[in-house]
């Protein structure tokens, strides 16, 4: 099994924000072989999160894993997206 080579720069802030909001987070970015970056639990459900930088793309291994996994995998690139994926509302910024 190969190891993940790089962690997206926004992962730390997303994980920290999710934990602050009461989401259980297990970081799995080092698992490799296309496995998502985090396993989360909130609202009675597990989710797998693939954390990408804005505009980032999936690797071939990640795409293979997503096709083979029967569970829910959510791609997020911001804390706001990660919170919404868990049904947590965020305050909208006024323009």
pLDDT value at position 4? 45
Q: For residues 50 and 24, what is the distance between their CA atoms, to the nearest angstrom? A: 15
pLDDT at 68 over 70: yes
pLDDT value at position 5? 58
pLDDT at 62 over 60: yes
pLDDT value at position 92? 60
Return the H-helix or E-strand segment holding 74: strand 73-76
> Which one, of 1, 70, 4, lies nearest residue 37 by Cα?
4
- 8 Å CB contact between 78 and 14: yes
pLDDT at 13 over 70: yes
**Secondary structure of 8-66 in HEC code, one letter for each residue:** CCCHHHHHHHHHHCCCEEEECCCCCCCCCCEEEEECCEEEEEEECCCCCCCCHHHHHHH
Per residue in 26-59, pLDDT (tens digit) is 999 999 999 999 999 999 999 999 999 999 999 9
Per residue in 70-86, pLDDT (tens digit) is 988 999 999 999 999 99
């Amino acid at each position: 099994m190969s190891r993940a080579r790089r962690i997206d720069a926004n992962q730390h802030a997303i994980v920290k924000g999710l934990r602050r909001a009461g989401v259980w987070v297990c970081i799995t970015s080092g698992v490799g072989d296309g496995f998502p970056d985090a396993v989360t639990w909130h609202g009675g459900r597990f989710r797998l999160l693939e954390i990408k930088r804005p505009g980032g793309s999936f690797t071939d291994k990640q795409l293979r894993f997503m096709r083979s996994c029967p569970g829910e995998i959510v791609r997020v690139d911001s804390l706001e997206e990660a919170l919404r994926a868990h049904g947590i509302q965020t305050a909208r910024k006024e323009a």
